[in-house]
Amino acid sequence: MAQAALARLVPEASGALLRILDGARGPAQAPVRSEIFGPERFAQHGRSLGETHRAERGGWRSATFFPRLRNNIRTLREAHQYIGQQASSGYDISPAGEWLLDNFHLIEAQLKEIHEGLPRSYFRTLPLLQDEPLAGLPRVYGVAWAFVAHTDGAFDEELALRFLSAYQETRELNLAEMWALPTTLRVVLIESLRRLAERVATNKAAREVANLCCDRIESFSVESLDELLALLEQRGVGPSFLGQVALRLQDTRPTTESDDKARYLAWLQDKLPDVATLRAQQAADQAADNLSVSNAVTSLRTIGDADWPDIVARTSTLMQLMLTSAVFASEHSSTRDQTLHGIEQLARRCGRSEVAVAQSLLDLMHAAEADEPAAAVASHWLQGPGRPTLLNALGLHEAATSACLGVARRWALPLYLGSLLIALGAVAWLMLRHTPFSVGPAVPLWLSLLGAALMMFPASEAVVAVINRLISESVRPGHLPRLALGEGIPPEHRVMVVIPTMLTSDVAIREMSHRLLLHHLANPERHAQFALLSDWPDADTPRVAMPCWRPLSSRSAHSTHATRPTRAKRLASSCCTASAASAPPSNAGSGGNASAARSSSWWPCWPRARQVPSSTWVPNRTSPRTRPTSSRSTATHSCRPADCASWWAWPRTRITAR
């Protein structure tokens, strides 16, 4: 009805303008904006807010903010369309409108990100507020609302850390709420942008109505202007209308021939006594809206770039407690997530807080750490042999579904093979039943068996493909625990990656040594070493003479490993003679030569690997110590069979040449 009355009074108004100013929609809501707090005031507000937030566990029938979110997106699209039409028509638009036009694609993309980051099933696990004005909404929504309101939509990571830490001094947020905070902040920012966009669009529409009225002011009576002003007041844009009318009439002076303009000025003076104050307020509001829109759009980008795992680790009470365990602190983020999800599930089952469950877990870990080192890992108690003990400590029993899954894991292979046989037998029976090769008086038995055997091959492929697809779609893969190793591999976890190979030809040796060099360069770890576990192939004679070969010249190795010269200069010479029965050398335990051999960028051959300058040739023990004219020179000589053994100092494994 209000829209029809507005169309009757202003017939020149477009449909988009009438929808924007429809009084049935009520006044435009105020922006999510309050007093701006500093760090100390924000921390104080966080503590007081935590004291007032009373929450209860939500259920499956609890309301969600997704309908409101979709309504916000529709309103934003409507405002964007109207502002775009005004801009294309040549009208000036405010900086806030320009922000909305330039970044609307980012705002629309938030709907998909919010649905992916906070699905309905996850939303229903969040505790809900009991008190107004946000009763029925998640508690974390109230936290996000307070943060956006007192920062004017500007996201600051350090300020968020202060606020969350202070809030949890009086009210603990569970892990699900902490991880829902980034998505909830986006929801509140979309709510703020919806209000700002509606505010910008309605004020712009009210000024357009004022321009249409002033273009034919003589056709309006005072009563019509009063009726039009009342309709605009329903949307809360009466001051914008009056301010634009005053701007249009300020240069118009009453004359003796026309007393109507004097009547309009008198009406305007009655409705708007102080024009200057209104203009100053409108300018201040426009500047504040411009800043709020720019802050909200920028925050939608920066929230995704923030280091939320670090924020959660520094503010979550549960994370702070679990990080007291040295093993948990050194684990990878994916392994930490498995542990935290296990604690969260147990807390939901037993009705205790997550901190209480984590404390029980840590007590068991510390008590058994001295006797059994494997018990210092949380997965031992959450998923391994220690789970029954942890459940007893929490007063729980193993769920039936978990027990069934445990049995299925232990009997995975028999169940898989049995399902294949059953499915294959069923398919073969159906195919034989509906084919002309069925057993009967006219069909010999051997022919039916032959047909069944031939049908088994294509049927087995189809059955295996279907069962594998069902397993991959229904079973979640399990991940092994991982260490983060943020500062590299420590000395106590040093590792050697050994690639077994056969020394069959010069080409194969060059390829393997080059591959070993690539592995070494791609993994610049101080305590990670790479080596080739090599051996000669069987020979036709007990003794074979081979040329000494060097896969990498000392000059190229030195230039390639310029950043690590201590390893770059470690070269080794190859064996020249192999024997079917060779004994280990007498000084096989020489750690220096063996260490240099396993650090080399090609296959090691003990004991002639040692650190030399890049231009020095490394001779064999039995060859004369001559210096070649070039670093790429080679020599042909013989050595004893014992010199051809590939020897390792760690792990102490010896491979003798055949």
Q: What is the CATH number of the domain that holds 69?
A: 3.90.1200
Is residue 260 included in any domain, yes or no? no
Is residue 410 included in any domain, yes or no? no
- Do 429 and 543 fall into the same domain? no
Listed range (251-265, 273-287, 434-448, 591-605) with the worst mean pLDDT: 591-605
Specify whether the backbone of 152 is left (phi greater than 0), alpha (psi in -120 to 50) or beta. left
Domain end among 202, 223, 244: 223
- Do 95 and 191 fall into the same domain? yes
More reliable by pLDDT, 595 or 19: 19
Which residues are CB-neighbours of 639 under 8 A, at least 6 positions away?
575, 576, 577, 620, 621, 622, 623
- Give the chain's domain count: 4
| C-alpha triplet 40, 45, 49: angle, nearest 5° | 155
More reliable by pLDDT, 523 or 579: 523
> Could you tell me the residue range of the domain that residue 326 belongs to?
316-398
What pLDDT shows up at residue 163? 93
Q: Cα–Cα distance between 226 and 220 in angstroms, integer?
A: 10
Q: Number of C-alpha atoms within 13 angstroms, CB side, residue 101?
A: 16
Domain end among 474, 509, 541: 474
- Do 21 and 103 fall into the same domain? yes
Q: How confident is the model at residue 148 (pLDDT cuts 50, 70, 90)?
A: very high
Q: How confident is the model at residue 419 (pLDDT cuts 50, 70, 90)?
A: confident
Q: Cα–Cα distance between 59 and 62 in angstroms, integer?
A: 5
The predicted model gives 372-401 an average pLDDT of: 82
Residue 304: is its pLDDT beyond 60? yes
Which residues are CB-neighbours of 231 under 8 A, at least 6 positions away?
2, 5, 6, 9, 21, 23
Backbone angles phi, psi at 500, to 5 degrees: -75, 140
**What tokens does 555 get?**
């000059």
The predicted model gives 157-166 an average pLDDT of: 92
By C-alpha distance, which of 548, 563, 646 is closest to 597?
Answer: 646
More reliable by pLDDT, 634 or 552: 552
Q: Cα–Cα distance between 488 and 464 in angstroms, integer?
A: 43
Listed range (190-194, 323-327, 538-542, 563-567) with the worst mean pLDDT: 563-567
Q: Cα–Cα distance between 97 and 83 in angstroms, integer?
A: 7
Is residue 529 included in any domain, yes or no? yes
Residue 401: is its pLDDT beyond 80? no
- Do 94 and 46 fall into the same domain? yes
What pLDDT shows up at residue 432? 66
**What tokens does 112 get?**
């998909």
Listed range (116-125, 160-169, 382-391) with the worst mean pLDDT: 116-125
Backbone angles phi, psi at 66, to 5 degrees: -65, -40
Is residue 76 included in any domain, yes or no? yes
Residue 622: is its pLDDT beyond 80? no
Q: How confident is the model at residue 155 (pLDDT cuts 50, 70, 90)?
A: very high
**What tokens does 87 get?**
């801009």
Which residue is listed with tokens 């939608």? Answer: 300
Q: Cα–Cα distance between 576 and 584 in angstroms, integer?
A: 16
Residue 615: is its pLDDT beyond 50? no
- Do 525 and 641 fall into the same domain? yes
- Do 496 and 447 fall into the same domain? no
- Do 60 and 182 fall into the same domain? yes
- Do 458 and 587 fall into the same domain? no
- Do 521 and 420 fall into the same domain? no
Is residue 360 included in any domain, yes or no? yes
Q: Cα–Cα distance between 142 and 376 in angstroms, integer?
A: 38
Q: How confident is the model at residue 631 (pLDDT cuts 50, 70, 90)?
A: very low
Is residue 628 included in any domain, yes or no? no
What pLDDT shows up at residue 117? 80
- Do 391 and 344 fall into the same domain? yes
The CA-based diameter of the chain, rounded to the nearest angstrom, is 132
Distances (CA, A) of 367 to 357, 361, 386, 395, 656: 16, 10, 12, 19, 48
Residue 627: is its pLDDT beyond 80? no
By C-alpha distance, which of 177, 164, 186, 138 is closest to 45?
Answer: 164
Q: Cα–Cα distance between 310 and 119 in angstroms, integer?
A: 23
What pLDDT shows up at residue 145? 94
Domain end among 398, 428, 443: 398
Residue 438: is its pLDDT beyond 60? no
For 336-370, write each residue's pLDDT tens digit.
888 999 898 888 888 888 899 999 999 988 888 77
CA dihedral (361, 166, 154, 108) positive or negative: positive
- Percent of the chain clearing pLDDT 90 (strictly above): 17
More reliable by pLDDT, 139 or 444: 139
Looking at every residue in the chain, the average pLDDT score rounds to: 77
- Do 150 and 40 fall into the same domain? yes
More reliable by pLDDT, 107 or 622: 107
More reliable by pLDDT, 384 or 100: 100
Residue 213: is its pLDDT beyond 60? yes
More reliable by pLDDT, 401 or 418: 418
What pLDDT shows up at residue 447? 72
What pLDDT shows up at residue 651? 35
The per-residue DSSP string of 123-152 comes to: HTTSEEE-STTSTTSBHHHHHHHHHHHHHT
- Percent of the chain clearing pLDDT 70 (strictly above): 76
Residue 190: is its pLDDT beyond 50? yes
- Do 103 and 164 fall into the same domain? yes
Is residue 140 included in any domain, yes or no? yes
Is residue 347 included in any domain, yes or no? yes
The predicted model gives 483-492 an average pLDDT of: 86
